[in-house]
Amino acid sequence: MWSSRLMFILAAAGSAVGLGNIWGFPYLAGENGGGVFVLAYLACIALIGLPILIAEILMGRAGRQNPITTMKLLARASGASQFWQIIGWMGALAGFMILSFYGVIAGWAMAYVGDMANGDFVGVTGTEAATVFETFISDPVRVITWQTVFMLVTISITARGVSQGLEKTVQYLMPLLFLLLVILVGYSALTTGHFLEGLGFMFSPDWESFSGDSFIAAMGQAFFTLSLGMGAIMAYGAYMPAGSSVVGTATTIAVLDTSVALMSGLVIFPLVFANGLESSAGPGLMFITLPIAFGQMAGGQIFGTLFFVLVTFAAVTSSISLLEPAVAWVGERLNTSRAKAS
Ligand code: PFF
């Protein structure tokens, strides 16, 4: 069990807040016309994401097992087909598969902490920053090493269990993450001189650029960012103390997650605009465009390092939730210790 409702909120918000918010949301907003995408995203979070989040927490709390067994028990209890179990299987498997690329990108972010601190991006041109990134991601040894480091961190946390591992991690990392984000928004607002432009890009919809595809992208992002459909939230719900309000808790988690995505946009877009760069750079926005911007700014070396520390923290508190359903299932099913299951 989580030791309190607050701990559950921190853990679930930790799962929700991740690469999806800091890396995914800004680049998708940048590619899909800013304000319109943000509006569609907010609508999807409120109308689709939040109800499913509530449902997953409730099911997890009702079953009190790993998501696979929970689906089996709930189907049996309500006289429904045993095939509903498949949902549990698909979730745990999808979480495991997502982790296989999530760990790679988180490894990139970890590597960038060192590169930023080293001053590798100070004064770089666009071509130089792109070369640094492309050389790095086409070097299997470096990429696999960083992914391995990240996965070892993830595994060592889940191995320690709910109260000693998961809870201790989110208890320290989540407040730190919010603090870093506030510092970075302040830096972006005070030093770029383009804060209002960033704000305008995110909040004034340019209807011309709205398309069915941007709506689908916004909906996919809403699912991903709230960690839905993977059993992660169901697994965390299983450790939730009885009696706390699920609707209130889920709303808090969705609000925290959305705030982090919007604040990440407010860190990134002013920096990008202040340096005359393109907001529509796609997945490279965080690994090429942003380092160029930090490389041009006063204090960019320090704040750029802090930025990638922030991304790494956010990724760790999500990856542990991607591994949790599988670890809980293996542990309960094979009756082994969590350490071995992890
Ligand atoms: N919500 C996480 C993010 O936005 O980065 C990613 C994620 C975590 C997706 C856990 C699914 C999940 F089960």
Report whether 41 contacts 336 (CB < 8 A).
no
pTM of the model: 0.95
* pLDDT for 227: 97
Nearest atom within ligand 1 for CA of residue 23: 5
Ligand 1 centre to CA of 16 (Å) is: 5
Per residue of the chain (342 residues), give pLDDT as tens: 999 999 999 999 999 999 999 999 999 999 898 999 999 999 999 999 999 999 999 999 999 999 999 999 999 999 999 999 999 999 999 998 999 999 999 999 999 999 999 999 999 999 999 999 999 999 999 999 999 999 999 999 999 999 999 999 999 999 999 999 999 999 999 999 999 999 999 998 888 877 899 899 999 999 999 999 999 999 999 999 888 899 999 999 999 999 999 999 999 999 999 999 999 888 899 999 999 999 999 999 999 999 999 999 999 999 999 999 999 999 999 999 999 999
Nearest atom within ligand 1 for CA of residue 257: 4
Q: What angle do CA 233, 254, 312 make, to 5 degrees?
A: 70
User: Which of 15, 25, 87, 108 has the most ligand 1 atoms within 8 A of CB, as the residue to mutate?
Assistant: 15
Nearest atom within ligand 1 for CA of residue 321: 10
Distance CA 87, CA 272 (A): 41
- Cβ–ligand 1 distance for 19 under 6 Å, the answer yes
User: Which of 41, 227, 233 has the most ligand 1 atoms within 8 A of CB, as the residue to mutate?
Assistant: 227
Distance CA 270, CA 263 (A): 11
Residue bearing tokens 């979480």: 95
Distance CA 70, CA 238 (A): 9
Distance CA 234, CA 328 (A): 11
Nearest atom within ligand 1 for CA of residue 224: 9
Residue 38 CA, chain-centre distance (Å), reads 17
